[in-house]
Amino acid sequence: MKVGTDAEEDIRRLQAVHETFPGISFIGDGNQGFFREDCIRFAGGVKQFGGRLVLLEQPVVRDDLEGLQAIRHLTGIPVAADESVRSLGDARRVVEMQAADYINIKIMKTGVIEARRIAAFTRTAGLRLMVGGMLETRIAMGCSFSLVLGLGDFDVLDLDTPLLLSTDPVSGGYRYQGPRLQPWQEPGLNMQIAVPADCLIIQ
């Protein structure tokens, strides 16, 4: 769930979901919205109502590695560095500071080649891998999923932004089946753009 705008309101929203689905666990994606103290208060509030936070994704601004480090150690909740890692050098600084447990790979942040370098370094350093997206269609998501299938060892897949589209302009390729991503068997991404019937194509 997206959090980080108002700690008390975030706690209330997660509690409402928890009361309806008491068996679920939460990933809280702060999108750099928290101050350190607010995030610690948020984590404590979720624990108080019996909720389970399994991951806090980028709770504070990208340059506040000390904040990420403090949140990790003071809450005991794993932290994922997202906006804090836009290059291999950023990943090295996160590891040196012991600021995260996961690094979130996004090809839209780094490009594919740098994403591979960051992923290899992350595994060597003993951190876990997460993969995410911004607001891509299934074409870019398919590239990210290809990276996951090719490299392996990704613990968290957050490749859901195409589900926010009111209509999917892409056919073929991977599929969403409940909480699972189903790969394809054909060459390439096996995707086509659906052209509306009323669209005029000029050659």
Residue 179 maps to a domain: no
Query: What is the C-alpha separation between 86 and 79, in angstroms, rounded?
Result: 16
Residue pLDDT tens, the chain, 203 long? 999 999 999 999 999 999 999 999 999 999 999 999 999 999 999 999 999 999 999 999 999 999 999 999 999 999 999 999 999 999 999 999 999 999 999 999 999 999 999 999 999 999 999 999 998 999 999 999 999 999 999 999 999 999 998 988 899 999 999 889 999 999 999 999 876 656 555 55
Which pLDDT score is estimated for 194?
76
Residue 73 maps to a domain: yes
Transcribe 148-178 into DSSP letters: HHHH--EEEE---GGGGSSS--EEES-EEET
Residue 99 maps to a domain: yes
Three-state DSSP state, 28: strand
DSSP letter assigned to residue 31: T
**Taking the model in full, what pTM does it have?**
0.90
Q: What residues make up the domain containing 17?
A: 7-158
Residue 90 maps to a domain: yes
Which pLDDT score is estimated for 72?
97
Measured over the CA atoms of residue 12, residue 13, residue 18 and residue 21, the dihedral's sign is: positive
The number of domains in the chain is 1
Closest-CA residue to 71 (of 55, 87, 83, 86): 55
Query: What is the C-alpha separation between 86 and 92, in angstroms, rounded?
Result: 11
Residue 145 maps to a domain: yes
Q: In CATH, what number is assigned to the domain containing residue 107?
A: 3.20.20.120
Residue 197 maps to a domain: no
Residue 200 maps to a domain: no
Residue 172 maps to a domain: no
133, 165, 166, 180 from 161: Cα distances, Å: 7, 8, 11, 14
Q: Tokens standing for 90?
A: 């950023």
